[in-house]
Structure 1
């Protein structure tokens, strides 16, 4: 009784490199006007003001704009005991939100940004899932390798036992023959099962590889869109977001771009500073810095540079603050 032992070929998993998802900052800031006629000649306080027309295409209701204006006033008022501004129903400096291509472009970029954020989240979820499935496959490959090695070891042992039987080196009893027959049947069963297990592993490997390639392509397209977004956003940097202006006794603050109430609050606070006769300061975190950026976009209080500029422009004492 002889059997030949079948050695199953080793199944290997090609390395699946996880790609980095590029996020280049999704930028796009604006410039806050503040030179020449856009700054008041002197600090003529208190300044009477009122909320004028609000174009509803800003997606900011009037109550939200009114609250942002009050908060902007409070940022300055909190720095001094002097009354700097006086809100009225319809007298004094008008504060308006005027919709044009600046806000329209910003809203379009905002929609693009939201879509890119969703795309990135989806890609990261897919990447995490792929990594998890890759790890599971690696574990299953290791288990298959152990199973294959155990089969080969058992097969060699069985061949040696059969050779001893055939050479008469062992006692040829019915029980021993039955044991060898049982081992042969078990090995044959394992021999039949191993190819199917290997096929399933190879199929999973091919599927993962295809999904990895698709993920890499989708990530490449995503990164191209991010780069295009940032190029377009960079082209928009430096446009005028708002303007304080004065003609004789008529004053106005005209807002041309505000993406949300936080940004609007800082833009209004900046232009209120110009109405007080304050120019730009060098601190990027300051309300009165020339540019709106991540450093100052969500400020709720003045910086030391802002307060110093207020004291200098209005010749008044200001409250000390650590913020």
Structure 2
């Protein structure tokens, strides 16, 4: 009944978050990054991403807040004909992230099943233990009654012929024995049925745990490798400006990646602070409530405000 212990590798999207590079390509800055607000428009969204244009627009509004709340200035603005096109380009890496998330959900589902099966096993086993103890008490009681009955019967027959009172007493003790035997037999059937259920549930628990361990083993074999790859690019060339997003595991991660790439569009380079949005790795940034660090604010103000 001991569940096999397997250390699950961190989900791939966390590995991506820790190791994924965030950098621009083809250009490090726009021609005039301080011509504010920088305008953007929605480009292509690969249908394989679990996000629509409205949801992406909501994320981009949050990205605007990241840049504007601390600077108290309009930095970014949506415009149907905006300068920067935002594209979500489905990549091999995103396909891998989606596969990892599906595998993680399978493991989580199987683990929930095993936990529920173990709880049911414990309930049945507790009931079995209770009935088994009751049965043992009945067996002991039956043994005591038999011993007394035999002792009294032997005493009566050795002393003299049984009187009516002695006959009544033996009859009463015999009835007690028969009643206890009936209770014993009934409890014995209940205990045997519970034993069968305990064994079946034990097999069920072990079966689910085996399935869970196989899923974990498959997960580790497929997703344990550490991979480095770019999550997004800010690109400026003769065709204009665009931000390509290649993969993300959550809306919070997408928000941070977009905020980073917009930083390049605003003329900022990578910073040295691991907590900065403009740090070259997604490492210690606050994904839940990302904000600009003092270094980023100072650099942007010195450039544009």
Task: Answer 1 or 2: which has greater helix percent.
Answer: 2
Q: Which string of whole-angstrom CA distances, capped at 9 and with x for unpartnered residues, describes residues 87-116 of structure 1?
A: 321221111111232223322332222222
8 A Cα contact 2:84 2:241, kept in partner: yes
Matched, 1:51 2:39: no
Aligned to 2:294: 308
| Structure-2 change in CA distance of 1:297 and 1:52 (3 Å) | farther
* Distance across 2 between alignment mates of 1:138 and 1:185: 28
8 A Cα contact 2:231 2:245, kept in partner: yes
| Structure-2 change in CA distance of 1:265 and 1:20 (3 Å) | same
| Structure-2 change in CA distance of 1:143 and 1:152 (3 Å) | same
Worse-matched range after superposition: 44-53 or 70-79: 44-53
* Distance across 1 between alignment mates of 2:297 and 2:32: 10
Aligned to 2:109: 118
Aligned to 2:159: 168
TM-score where L is the length of structure 2:
0.82
1:177 CA displacement = 0.7
* Distance across 2 between alignment mates of 1:176 and 1:108: 84
8 A Cα contact 1:262 1:297, kept in partner: no
1:225 CA displacement = 0.9
Aligned to 1:156: 147
**Structure 2 counterpart of 1:143, from 100, 125, 134:** 134
TM-score where L is the length of structure 1:
0.78
8 A Cα contact 2:113 2:208, kept in partner: no
3-state secondary structure, aligned to 2:290: coil
* Distance across 1 between alignment mates of 2:122 and 2:171: 45
| Structure-2 change in CA distance of 1:155 and 1:207 (3 Å) | same
Aligned to 2:99: 108
**Structure 2: gaps of 5 or more residues:** none
Aligned to 1:194: 184
1:173 CA displacement = 2.5
Matched, 1:24 2:8: yes
Q: How many residues align?
A: 295
8 A Cα contact 1:103 1:257, kept in partner: yes
Matched, 1:34 2:23: yes
8 A Cα contact 2:24 2:233, kept in partner: no
8 A Cα contact 1:148 1:194, kept in partner: yes
1:127 CA displacement = 0.9
1:125 CA displacement = 0.9
8 A Cα contact 2:24 2:264, kept in partner: no
Matched, 1:271 2:261: yes
**Structure 1: gaps of 5 or more residues:** 1-16, 318-323
* Distance across 2 between alignment mates of 1:186 and 1:79: 88
* Distance across 2 between alignment mates of 1:311 and 1:43: 18
**RMSD of aligned alpha carbons:** 3.1
1:20 CA displacement = 6.6
**Structure 2 counterpart of 1:217, from 203, 207, 219:** 207
Aligned to 1:62: 53
* Distance across 2 between alignment mates of 1:55 and 1:272: 20
* Distance across 2 between alignment mates of 1:185 and 1:161: 15
Aligned to 1:243: 233
Q: Which string of whole-angstrom CA distances, capped at 9 and with x for unpartnered residues, describes residues 147-185 of structure 1?
A: 11111122222222112212218x942122122123224
3-state secondary structure, aligned to 2:72: coil
3-state secondary structure, aligned to 2:202: helix
1:255 CA displacement = 0.7
